[in-house]
Amino acid sequence: MANQPTPKDQVTKRYWNPYVAGVSLGGVLFLAFLLTGSGLGASGGIARLVVQVVKVVAPSTVDRNPYFAPIGGGFANPLNNHIVWMVAGVLLGGFVSGVISGRSRVEICRGPRVRPAQRLVLAFIGGAFMGWGAAMARGCTSGQALSGGAVLSLGSWVFMMMIFAAGYALAYPFRRFWL
């Protein structure tokens, strides 16, 4: 009985070694630059999906909107871009990975003093701020950190430093939601 792994050990073994994962991510980033001429990112793909929905619901809005028009104005098809399909692949790959490793389940991770509805509202607000920040910075954290950082873009490095600084600054006041 002493040699059997505990449930904690079994869960830990399901994760990749962080060094192997980091090197693998670097390889994927290199292949993205090599095969597509651009790096990795998600906000561009999501913006293109939003433009496609807006084109169906209110097509004239796309041509008049300064943010949407360059993406899908006129006869351009916003879905005709590799980044859209990369985002779809990331979602599908993440789901398949979770199913294979046995970590796929519906749950709301939260602290003991936080109600599920409160956690969902906070997650939505945080996601909205990150989406707004990605639009203002012209790239999401993955695009800025991975792709911009890989080409030594000063703006990308400053953006990531500010993301971490904001995280540290907000961790203390928001800790009550997790303790």
Condensed to tens digits (0 to 9), the pLDDT of residues 136-168 reads 777 777 788 888 888 898 988 988 898 889 889
Report the mean per-residue pLDDT for the chain. Answer: 81
**Region of poorest pLDDT, from 52-56, 158-162, 175-179:** 175-179
Distance CA 5, CA 2 (A): 8
Contact, 68 vs 54, CB < 8 A? Answer: yes
Residue 48, burial from CB neighbour count under 10 angstroms (0-12, 13-18, 19+): buried
In degrees rounded to 5, what are phi and psi of residue 105? -160, 160
Task: Give the pLDDT score at 1.
Answer: 45
Q: Classify each residue of 131-153 as buried b or exposed e, where b means 16 or more C-beta atoms within 10 Å of its C-beta.
A: eebbeebebbbbbbbbbbbbeee
Q: Which residue has the tokens 């793909």?
A: 45
Distance CA 156, CA 139 (A): 9
With 60 as the cut, is the pLDDT of residue 95 above it?
Answer: yes
In degrees rounded to 5, what are phi and psi of residue 153? -75, 120
With 70 as the cut, is the pLDDT of residue 5 above it?
Answer: no
Confidence category of residue 47, pLDDT binned at 50, 70, 90:
confident
Task: Give the pLDDT score at 124.
Answer: 93
Please write the tens of the pLDDT for every residue from 60-73. Answer: 888 888 878 888 76
3-state DSSP assignment of residue 41: coil
Counting every residue written for the chain, the total comes to: 179
Which of 39, 144, 42, 24 lies closest to 85 in space, CA to CA?
42
